[in-house]
Chains A and B, each alone.
Chain A
Amino acid sequence: MLIGAVLAAGLIGAVMLLVLGANPLTGYAALIDGAFGGTKNLANSALKAMPLLLVGAGITVAFRTGVINIGGEGQIIAGAILSTLLVLALPDVPRLILLPSAFLFGAIGGAIWGGMAGALKSYAGVNEILSTIMLNIIAVQILNLLLRGPLMDPGEIERGSRIPHTERLSGNADLPILPGGTRLHFGVIVAVVMAVVCYVLLFRTTQGLRLRASGHNPFASLYAGMSVKRNVVLAFMYSGAMCGLAGVTLVFGSEGHRLATDGGATTFTGAAGFNGIVAALFGGLHPLWTIPASFLFGALLVGANAMQREVQVPAALILGLNGLVVVFVVASLQTRVRLAQIASRLRGEEQADLSLSDEASSAEAGADTS
């Protein structure tokens, strides 16, 4: 069904390409080649996927706890700022200490930013969608303020060009490039490992059981002696920490090795905080499935750029195409949920009693939970 969603988006995209006078076949060939053709392109796709995976795996933790974290952008920025501050303050600490500390500070920054939304929801009843969106805006403005003020590269001030970014950060905090001659760096490994950590957290630990219980049924969780409010805050903190890590990889893995902003709302994140949500949905809200889903989505983004160059269509079309994929993916998930509901309604209700004798169907139903 997900494949269907991508195909449907591609079909509508083809129509749009035709209207714009471009050959869709050439366009899509360029897209696929740009995404998967050769090691370099594959590596670029993986790099694009890295922050999506970190954000997406973190989002699954929040979603499974029954809260919606739209605050990836703000949490990425919070993590990036805190880790940048650390590296700016202690540039000479050896890499083996500085790099892990940068990751730690990034996670803390994201956790604080996410935790605020969680605390607001649990203890003040503020809808988390509203609060995370507001916190995104606040984070962007703080970033812009810092980069135009105290954190601005002294060189920029001297030259008077005043581009809003920091100085080149300490080389001790550069993410090591992986062997193989591509731009692929250590951040990709961090992303995959952390996705596995999210899986273990959710499905293997006591805490994860509590989070999932709160997400599925807060009443029963309360009844069983859990604190749903606390779980909501924790879920936001975990989710935020993952976004914070994404912020770290985006800053210390960037080509300029600095924290930068475009001065607008998208700063340096490339909308990873939102695209990560799509990757998580694409991966069925399962941290492990989010790994391939992020890669595919990252590849789509990279390939779309290649297509733009090849067939000379406006960038807006690519954005539109991405949007279409999102819409179709989400719609297909909705459809799946609806179909499942209808199926269980047909099977369930008073037939539940009888279906017990039918071991096969129940066992089959058991296989696709978790």
Chain B
Amino acid sequence: MEGAMPERLISPYTAIIRRSANPFELAHVLVSWLIGAGYDAYVVVGCATRDVCMAIRYRTICPDIPDENEVIEEPPPPEEEPRYKLLPLPDLTSKYCRDMDTKEANKIQGEKDKIERARQKKIAELEKPPPDEMDGWRTHAWILVLPHFMGVEEPFFIEPSEGNGYPLDAKQYQHIESVYNHENYYVNVQKEPEESLAELNYDLADISCWEHLLAGEPFYRRQLVGIDTSDKRTAVDTEKHLDMPFSWVEKLDITGDEYEQRYPGSHKVIHYKRVLLEKFSPYSENDGIVKRVKIFEDYALSIPLITYEWYKQREDKMDFVRLDHVTRQVKETFLVGRRDHLLKHSYAMEAPPCSVEGDRVMEFNYYPRLDHLLKLVCTPLTFEEHYKDRDDRLESRIIVYTEGTKLEPKRQVKDITETYSRNYDIPANKDIWKKIFHIQENTIELLYQYAYNFVTNDTRSFIKPNLAETGGKILFYPDKTSGYIADPNAPQPRPLDVYYALCENIDWEYQTTKHIRDRETDVNSYLRQRHRELKEPILYVALFDTERNEAAKKGWTEREIQKAEVTEREKEAEIDPLAPYLARMFGSGHGTGSQISLKEATLIREQCINDFKAKQLVRQNLVQERFDKFNAEYKAKRLWYLANQFILTPEKESAYFATSAELSFKVHALEVRLTRHRDLSGPRFKALLDYLDKHPLLQEFNKATYLHYRNERDRKAFNF
């Protein structure tokens, strides 16, 4: 079926729903999206190689293999030519010998290169696809993107089955028959290219190269020459041709959720050359894996070399794992934000999972850690801690152990070496560079920093006194310490200072050994935790993930309901003009409570009506007052103007016009308000009375009035 023209095509919408399609249908989907995004894209119908047509990938190199070569940035060259240069040392080697040596080396290198080239050639020969008798006749559809839109500068192809871009001279595309999109259909009438499709002319407006199915170009490509668009007839004639039919396909839409589930069955496997690429939808696997690249040594995928795995949404922030099956090494990379600030963890597969006594390296994000730990390196017989930017200038602590014996199966600390960075505030001969504790030999060695222009440094070594003999007191014996002073002019150190150094370091040794024990416990517990995280991975749901965040979803719905309730309540509680009077009489909150007595009701009603009347009056008076004032002012101004209009300067005159216009506007506005107030106050009063008559709290009163009124009427009627 691949390589032949399909009998019928499904619509892009169906293709998205089915998540599978032939190259034509895929090209339609992709072109639809590209055009929607503003690109000038076309479906190309033509011929391609068998591997492309049939989506055979096991001869292509996997594009997803991460690049492991570290980028080395070269320091920028100095801006100006150095004015001072060191005198180069005299070169005393023989030029002849050197020439001969390079000659020899070149020869060897050349031979090696030759062998290498031959080998490469052989590999290429073997990897070549088998001969294809239909080559050049297999029909395929792919995508052409033309320049001048969305920053595209050169035309290029996109292969719809994989989504990768290719240059025009890509060998896999052999022949173009036609290109089309929603606006037109162009048939290629150019000569068959000799080398590659890059030789073709991709200017679709050139009729000698591309035959158009429909007359007329799309708007953006139109160049109207010799056509008078202002003339209606010509304009109509210009547009008078067939257009592409409007799309009948359902509007394409892919939700975020659907996009995540884009692989059929949440899982896709692609077989590349010696590589197996697996892709997973997020949350589809228990351990949160989203991508796995497995590199094999052979083409049959039987001997694994390296596995790369990418994870997402893991609670332990594991992001990327590299398993080297040859060296049996695992390297895990984490995102920032872990409790222990671990960034990288590499260990041997065989290392005991929960013990420091295996080969492993842990790198930390030192900055947020209180101890500024940068790196831990464990091997069976050493343990290294590396620090950065510590206040006490400790840079590293390296512990060497002796192997456990039969009597003592646990390894024992042999040496501890601590390295400090230079503190420029104190002289070098007081600034310790290295402290070395030979625990088993019972000695302490101190190396001091190098001073300016010195190539040797001060040293001092102690044999630790036996504290048990002196009852815990540290005594000083000059013969148990020795040292070297680098500066020949410096005085010998004072015994007191040496003694202090000894006391300090005996104490420090104790602290350090304690620290090491703590650290080992820490690392062990950390490793147990890591082991658990690997064994039972937990995935977290992002706070903003509306699909999966169940707790948040629940919260949202609840809030929605609450909101709806509030609006409902607001609707019910209309403004009650009686409320302030009720509140004054019974305290606030008396809204829909019990009935009030007739007397109280009368009182309240009376107050309410009186206040309303008073308010209306006050308002009217206020407006009236303002109106009178402005009106008088306006009139006075006008009189003044009439009297002086011939002696006024133009500035004053224009100022008068400005103020008088403003005043007249104000007067007019007040007048309107006044009339409106007069017109409305009657109906408003009536509305209030109606409201009060129907007010549930004034029921008693209303009833009484009603009775009274009826009685009156009856009486009147009776009287008549």
Do A and B actually bind? no
Report A's interface with B, CB cutoff 8 A.
Answer: none
